[in-house]
Amino acid sequence: MRARYWSCSQFADWIRGTAKLDAGTSEEWQVWQTQARNFSALRYWLAEDGLSALQNFVNYIPDRLNDIRYYVNNRWVSRSHACTAHARDINPGTWCDVGNRFLPCLFNELVDFVEVETAWHHVCWSDEARKKYQTPWWRSGWLRWRTWRCAEAGIAHLQWASELTNADYCGVGETPALTPQALAAQEILELYAWWTITYPNRPEPMEASGWSAYCDANREAHGSGFFLGSARTPELRAQADLAQARMQEIEAAYEAEDTEMLMRLIQIRNHLWT
C-alpha cells in the first residue's frame, strides 16, 4: 500500500481531463468512470492504467523492500495471522482450554483495533491530531511499526464516527439518519467499554453470593471439619445451600452475558477494518 498514487494526483486529472472523486458511493464511482471514459477513453487509460504501470516500474525496488517490512511487521510485531490474549487475561505458559480462549482472545483483538488501528487512523491524516495525542516520531515514516497505542485517540475517532448521518443524501424535509458506519461505531464503543470497564469490575461470584464470607466465618468457628456433611448443623447446611445457589445464579448470568457480547462482536466483524 502506498501513501500516494499517481493516478489520484492533480497531474492525472490534467491528463484525464476530468477531476477524480475524493470519495463517493459505489454508484457515484460508476457514474464518474462512465463519464471519464466517455470524455476520452485514451486519456482515461493513460491516467489510470498508464500512470499506475509507470509508478509500479519506478517503485519496484521500494515496493519489494516495503513488502519485506510489512511481512516482518505482520509476522512478528502485530502478528496479524493470530488471535492472542493479553497476559492479564491468560497468563503465558499456563493451560487454557479452547472454549475459554475465545472471549479474551477476540476481545483483546477488539481492544487492539480501537487502541492501535483506529487510534492511528484518527491521527494519520492530521498534524494537529498527532500533536494532540503526542504521536511518537518512530510511528511515522517509512520504518513505522504498528506498536503505538492510544486509547484516547481510538475512542475519539469512534465518537466522531458515531455521529455521522446521511444528511448529504436527504431530500428536502427529510430527517437525516445515522449511517451504518455510525451505528457500527456506537456498537464498537459499547463492546469496548464492556470489556475494559464492566467485565473486569464484575464482582467475583464467590464474594457476591456470600459463599466466601460463609466459609471464612465457619472455618474460624468450626475448623476445617465443617466442610464435611456430618459436621454441619441444619442451620449451616441451609446457609451453605443458599450461598451456593446464589453463586450458581451469578455464574449463569455472567456466562449468558459473555455469550451475548461475543455474538454482538461477531455480528459487527465486517466493520472492524481501517
Amino acid at 125: W
The helix or strand, by DSSP H or E, that contains position 199, with its residue range, turns out to be none
Set of cell numbers at residue 249: 445464579
Given this model, what pLDDT does residue 230 score? 45
Output the nine-digit C-alpha cell for 238. 441451609
Q: Any idea how long the chain is? A: 274
Q: What SS3 string covers 109-128?
A: HHHHHHHHHHHHHHHCCCHH
165 in helix, strand or coil?
strand
The pLDDT assigned to 171 comes to: 73
Contact present, 16 and 47 (Cβ < 8 Å)? yes
Average pLDDT, the chain: 88
- Rounded to the nearest 5 degrees, what angle is found at the Cα of 133, between the Cα atoms of 186 and 119? 40
What pLDDT is recorded for position 144?
59
> Is residue 47 classed as helix, strand or coil in its secondary structure?
helix
- Distance (Å, whole) CA 220 – CA 178: 60
- List, in sequence order, every beta strand (DSSP E) within 107-177: none
> What pLDDT digit, counting tens, does each position of 207-248 carry?
999 988 888 887 766 555 555 444 467 888 888 889 999 999
Cell 461477531 -> residue: 266
Nearest to 37 by CA among 55, 18, 51: 18
Give burial (CB, 10 Å; 0-12/13-18/19+) of 208: middle
Q: Which residues of the chain have pLDDT under 50?
A: 228-231
Nearest CA to 239 among 207, 214, 222, 221?
A: 214
pLDDT at 80: 79
- Contact between 163 and 185 under an 8 Å Cβ cutoff? The reply is no
Query: pTM of this prediction?
Result: 0.79
Assigned C-alpha cell, 128:
494537529
